[in-house]
Amino acid sequence: MPGSGGRGKKAKLKEKMEAFQRTCREAGLKITPQRMAVYKVLIESKQHPSAEMVFRKVRDVIPNISLDTVNRTLLTLSEIGAASIVEGSGDVKRFDGKLETHQHFKCIKCRRIFDFHYKPFDNIAVPKNISRRFAVLRKTVYFEGVCDLCRKHAER
Binding site for Zn ion (CB under 5 A): 96, 98, 107, 109-110, 115, 147, 150
Cα 80 to Cα 78: distance, rounded to the nearest angstrom: 6
Q: How far is the CB of 133 from Zn ion (least distance, A)?
A: 29
The contacts of residue 12 (CB under 8 Å, 6+ apart) are none
Residue 25 or 117: the one with the smaller Cβ distance to Zn ion is 117
* Phi, psi (deg, nearest 5) at residue 47: -95, -5
Residue 72 or 98: the one with the smaller Cβ distance to Zn ion is 98
Q: How far is the CB of 48 from Zn ion (least distance, A)?
A: 6
Cα 100 to Cα 7: distance, rounded to the nearest angstrom: 21
Q: How far is the CB of 107 from Zn ion (least distance, A)?
A: 3
23: closest CA among 64, 66, 78?
78
Alpha carbon 35 to chain centroid distance?
Answer: 15
Cα 135 to Cα 113: distance, rounded to the nearest angstrom: 28
Residue 65 or 86: the one with the smaller Cβ distance to Zn ion is 86
Residue 31 or 47: the one with the smaller Cβ distance to Zn ion is 47
Q: How far is the CB of 28 from Zn ion (least distance, A)?
A: 27
